[in-house]
Chain A
C-alpha cells in the first residue's frame, strides 16, 4: 500500500519479482500435541488388542492340541483274573481292536513299559506276576473316521472277561468344555479390550478434534460444505491412527516372534517343556499376524469414522445455533 493510502498494485515501473510460495500446507495442521497424544494412545490400545488376540489364539490352539492328542487314542484295559492267560488275552484284544475300521494301530503295553508306568508309585524291580496289575492295549484311531466304539466294546466283552474299553470320552468332553470355556473367557476379554479400544479411540479423537474446532468453524464460514471439511479431517486423523495402530501392532508382532524364537531355541529343555505344556508351540501362526493387521485397519477406520461423525456433529451444532440463538454449546 502506498503512503497516501492507495493499495500498491503490481503495475509499477519496477520489474515484477518472481514470487516464491511454499508448497500449499494442508488445511488441517500436520502435527500438534493433541495429534501426537492421539497417536500414542492408539498405539497402546492397538498393542493391547493385538496381545489379547494373540493370547486367545494361543489358548485356543493349545486346547485344540490337547483335545486332538487325547482323542487320537483309546485304551483297552484287562484286569487279571484267576486262570486268565494275560498275554493271550492281550493278544486277543489287540486282534479284535485292529479288526475294526478306523483303528489304525494297536500296541500292547509290554511288561517293561507297564513297570515303568508304575515305577513312580510302586518303585523299581516290580514283578508284574506278583501283583494283580491291569494291562493295557493302546489303540490308535483315525480321528477323521473313528471306529464304532460301542461295537468294539461289545466284541471285547464277549471275547474276554474283565475287559474295559476306555475311549477317553469323559476326559475329552471335560477337556473340550474346559478349552471352550477358556476360549470363551479369552474372547470376552478380547471384546472388552476392543470395546475399551473403541471408546479410547473415540474420546481421544474427539479430544484432538476439539483443539481444531476453530478450523472447522472458519472453513464452514468461508463456504466449505460439510463433506469437504469432514473429508479433510477424516484423512488427517486416519493417517495418525494408521501410524499409531501400526506401531502398536508391530510391537505386538515382535513380541510374538521373539517368544517363538525363544521357544525354538530352548526346545527340549525343562523350561521349554513346561512352557509348551501350557502354551503349546508358543506361536500365533499366520492367523495371529493377519488378526494384528485386521486390528490396525479396524482402528484406523474407526478413528476416521469417529472424526467424520464428530466434524459433521460440530457443523450441525454451528447450524443449530443458527436455528436456535439461545442454544448454548
Chain B
C-alpha cells in the first residue's frame, strides 16, 4: 500500500532528519513507530500523510508516485488516509458530532446520509453521551477519542496516529489500543507513533524504531 525507497528529508539547509528509509506498509498491517523524542516520528507521519515531500528518495502511496501528484489530487488521496494529530485539531465551534462528521461533510454528503453512521461510531468510541458537547468541555481522553473517530469515519485504508495515548492515563491508553486493534481487524492498516514502551508491550506487533534519522524494523 505504501512503499518508501531510500527516502531522506532535511529542513532547508539543515542536517537530514530522516535518512535512507526503505520500508513497506502492507494492507491490513499493524505497526508501532517509535523512537526517542526528536527522532523524527512526526516528520515520518507527515511524509505518510502527504503533508511533506522528501528531499530525496522515492515514495509510492496507493500506487502513486507522490513526486508527480498534482496538488489538486492531494485531498482525494488524503481521504483514503485517516490521521489523528497529537494535538487533536478539533474545531472548537463544532460539537463532537459535527467534528466527527466533518470529513463526510467536506465530501459534500448530506447530513441525513451519514447521521446514523456518525452516531454509531461515537457510541463505539464511548462518546455516545457527549455528542452535543464542544471540544473545550471535553476531557483529554474524550478529545483523543473524538479525533480518532474523525479519522475513522470514512473508513480509511490506513490510520496514522501521532502519540494517541500521550494525553491519557494508562487504563484509557489500553482502551484506545483495543480500539485500534478492532479497527485493524476490520481491515484498516494502522501506524501508531508512540514512545510509550508499556503500550507496545501489550501486543505483539511490528515495531519501526527511528533513531538518529534511521529506521530499524522488527517484525
Contact = CB atoms under 8 A, between A and B. Distances in A.
A319 interface: yes
Contacts of A25: 93-95, 98
B53 A326 contact: no
Interface in B156-177: 171, 174-175
Contacts of A9: 120, 123-124
Contacts of A321: 51-52
Contact of A221 (B10, B89, B97, B123): B89
Interface in A160-206: none
Contacts of B55: 325
Contacts of B132: 20-22
Contacts of B95: 21-22, 25
Interface string A36-55: 00000000000000000000
B78 A223 contact: yes
Nearest to B83: A221
B186 interface: no
Interface in A4-38: 5-10, 19-22, 24-25, 27, 29-30
Nearest to B127: A1
B197 interface: no
Contacts of B175: 1, 5, 7
Interface stretch (B19-27, B29-37, B100-108, B205-213): B100-108
Nearest to B90: A218
A133 interface: no
Contacts of A126: none
A229 B108 CA distance: 11
B213 to A, nearest CB: 13
Interface string A200-236: 0000000000000011011111111110110000000
B78 A319 contact: no
B53 A322 contact: yes
A269 interface: no
7 contacts: A7-B175, A19-B131, A22-B132, A220-B75, A223-B154, A225-B75, A226-B72
Interface of A: 1, 5-10, 19-22, 24-25, 27, 29-30, 214-215, 217-226, 228-229, 316, 318-319, 321-328
Given A27-B102, A319-B71, A327-B12, 9 more contacts: A7-B125, A19-B119, A220-B75, A221-B89, A222-B150, A223-B79, A224-B75, A321-B51, A322-B50
Interface of B: 9-14, 49-53, 55, 71-72, 74-76, 78-79, 83, 85, 89, 91, 93-95, 97-98, 101-103, 105-108, 111, 115, 119-120, 123-126, 128, 131-132, 150, 154, 171, 174-175, 178-179, 182
Task: List 10 A-B pairs, minimum CB-CB distance, nearest first.
Answer: A326-B12, A1-B126, A224-B106, A223-B79, A5-B175, A29-B93, A222-B103, A7-B124, A223-B78, A225-B75
